[in-house]
Chain A
Amino acid sequence: MGSPREVHALRGVSLTVEEGIVTAIAGPSGSGKTTLLSIMGLLTVPSKGRVYLKDQEMSGFSEIYRTRLRREEIGFVFQSQYLLPHLTAVENVALPHLATDISISEVEHIARDRLIMLGMEHRLDFKVAELSGGEQQRVSIARAMMNDPTILIADEPSSSMRS
């Protein structure tokens, strides 16, 4: 029971993802998939319950530590991509590594490699607004892979791509 405006996005969810396993989560719209992924990606703290990453319980840790984990261990592909429109494809992909002690030239080199892996070699220096929906999604995926994450979380990663 809660106030009239309170929404229970998730209730009674328990999920274990094994290392090396690809896990898909399916459900109707509004069922709480994005909320679950946000909790798993340490983007939000659950109201109740616990989150474990590599057998370590996350709820007791500070925001600074969880930020570090997002930077070093987790790659997130957002449902809305959240690309910065004033940056090029390479610059968007390079973003996660700007907060590290890697030189900017090396960061851009890694970013270009990631984009070329996803077939974006001819669109590297185009602004996001100049890319198609599918290309933007590939940029988003490349960005999530920049830090060689332990866990890669993708929220509807292929929604803009051709089947």
Chain B
Amino acid sequence: MGVHRHVNLASYALGNVLKYRVRSTAVIVALILSTTLLCSVQFIHDGVVQDVTCSMEEGPDIILQQLVGGRQVPLPVSWCDNISRTRGVRMATPRVWGYIDVGSGYLFTVMGINASDYGSAFGAVGTDIIGDGRFLSSNDTRKIVIGQGIVDMMAASAASVQIHVGSKLSLIAYDDQLVEFEVVGVFSSKSKIFSYDLIITDMDSARRLLGVENGTCTDIAVWIEPGRDLNSVAFRLDNAMPEARVLTRDALRDIALQTYGGRAGIIDLLWVVLVMTVVLLAFTVSSAGSDEARREVGLLKALGFDTVDVLEIRMFESTVLSLLGASLGVSTAIVYDFVLGAPLLAGYLLGWNLVLLNGGIPLLITLSALFMVYAVAIVPVLVATVVPAWKNAIAEPDIVLRGV
């Protein structure tokens, strides 16, 4: 079969798409609406999953907290000794953390750490210092390391505050007193949650800011020895310290995803409804019930078109409609998410957590998501148009033409 034949059939199919404007427009609009919603949700979901995954990779293997009456309370730093002696534990270090207001309406997370311990944890958030800065050292006081995202955000703010190594930054403590810190380093992180939110300082400074008593900490971060089974170590810790809540990295990831992605399921349901609508729409406006379309197939067969030719025409028609509708839907979703910041949708999906995302909603476009979108847009429409056309194409032309 030569090239001209395929070009002729494609030209005829394209002509059908252009001539049946109302039908084509209806299918395209329905596809745009459904794929825009699907992509918008998917980009946010994938972005959140990636961000959470990155934040977990830069965090400890296990976290220990103390719960009293179901509420998290400070726990004794002395627990670290017990934890460090547990088989499989490489390092256990206390952390003091909480939220502070820098006076510009932004809430940041301050985390106080033991610099010598924490600095030895390979890949831990905050240790990847950019440029000429450095990480905290064990004798640092009132020194901080901040995320690159915070630097960018401050520079982009209305006051245009330029922060660099050596800058002085005053933070508002729990008692409304200002405490001045010096920036000694800026760190990079793959996670927006960290980069735009995290300020790391020494333990004593964090206690001063957050009003945490000496000898206590917010939680204990644990790194296990290489090659150890994470769940086994967690189990041992849980047995050894029944008063503690032991959270592994996987559990933390699930909690974080539930926090940020809890409402995505409702949107998925809506998407299913919309796809069904698209399929029904494609079916009703396609060859299925239309006498005119059925006679067209009968005529083409009578004039010498093979069944394969007829199917090629219908496939081309539906593929053009689907590709156009899906592409416009993807483009609209990109503008809606990346340019406009997904108004209404982000708030619905992320809830109050949106307030805590200083750097805006994390977004990600993956090939698998695009493939899924195009597959869902193309396949149902293809089936809805090609199957009826095939039924008519295999019947005798005379019967089809007469509409018997």
Residues of chain A having any CB pair with chain B under 8 Å? 38, 41, 43-45, 63-64, 67-68, 70-72, 76, 78, 80, 82, 84-87, 91, 95-104, 107, 143, 147
Contacts and interface: CB of A to CB of B under 8 A. Distances in A.
B19 A86 contact: yes
Contacts of B394: 63
B304 A67 contact: yes
Nearest to A106: B4
Contact of B5 (A72, A84, A99): A99
Given A43-B302, A45-B396, 12 more contacts: A43-B397, A67-B305, A68-B306, A70-B303, A72-B304, A78-B302, A84-B296, A87-B19, A98-B8, A100-B8, A143-B303, A147-B304
Contacts of A99: 5, 8-9, 300, 303-306, 309
Contacts of A68: 304, 306
A71 B401 contact: no
A139 to B, nearest CB: 13
A104 B12 CA distance: 10
A64 B304 CA distance: 9
A102 B6 CA distance: 10
B1 interface: yes
Contact of A103 (B4, B396, B397): B4
A98 B296 CA distance: 14
- Count class of interface residues, chain B: 20 to 34
B302 A76 contact: yes
Contact of A70 (B8, B11, B304): B304
A158 B91 CA distance: 98
Interface string B1-35: 11111011101100110011000000000000000
Contacts of B298: 82
B398 A38 contact: yes
B19 to A, nearest CB: 4
A104 B304 contact: no
Determine the main DSSP class of B at the interface with A: helix
Given A43-B397, A43-B398, A98-B12, A82 B299 contact: yes
Given A68-B304, A71-B303, A96-B304, A82 B8 contact: no
Most B CB within 10 A of own CB, among A67, A84, A91, A99: A99
Interface in B353-398: 394, 396-398
Closest 7 pairs between A and B when the two form their complex, measured CB to CB: A71-B304, A101-B2, A44-B398, A43-B398, A98-B8, A86-B19, A70-B304
B1 A101 contact: yes
B19 A43 contact: no
Contacts of A95: 299-300, 303
Given A38-B398, A44-B398, A78-B401, A100 B5 contact: yes
B104 to A, nearest CB: 63
A72 B305 CA distance: 11
Given A82-B295, A98-B12, A104-B4, A44 B304 contact: no
A97 B301 CA distance: 12
A143 B4 CA distance: 20
Nearest to B304: A71
A95 B302 CA distance: 11
Interface in B271-329: 292, 295-296, 298-307, 309
Contacts of A97: 8
18 contacts: A44-B397, A64-B307, A67-B304, A72-B304, A80-B401, A82-B299, A82-B302, A86-B20, A96-B304, A97-B8, A99-B300, A100-B8, A101-B2, A102-B4, A102-B8, A103-B7, A103-B8, A104-B11
A104 B8 contact: yes
B311 to A, nearest CB: 12
A67 B301 contact: yes
Most A CB within 10 A of own CB, among B2, B5, B9, B398: B398
B304 A82 contact: no
A56 B396 CA distance: 21
Contacts of B2: 101
B295 to A, nearest CB: 7
B399 interface: yes
Interface string B130-155: 00000000000000000000000000
Contacts of A78: 302, 401
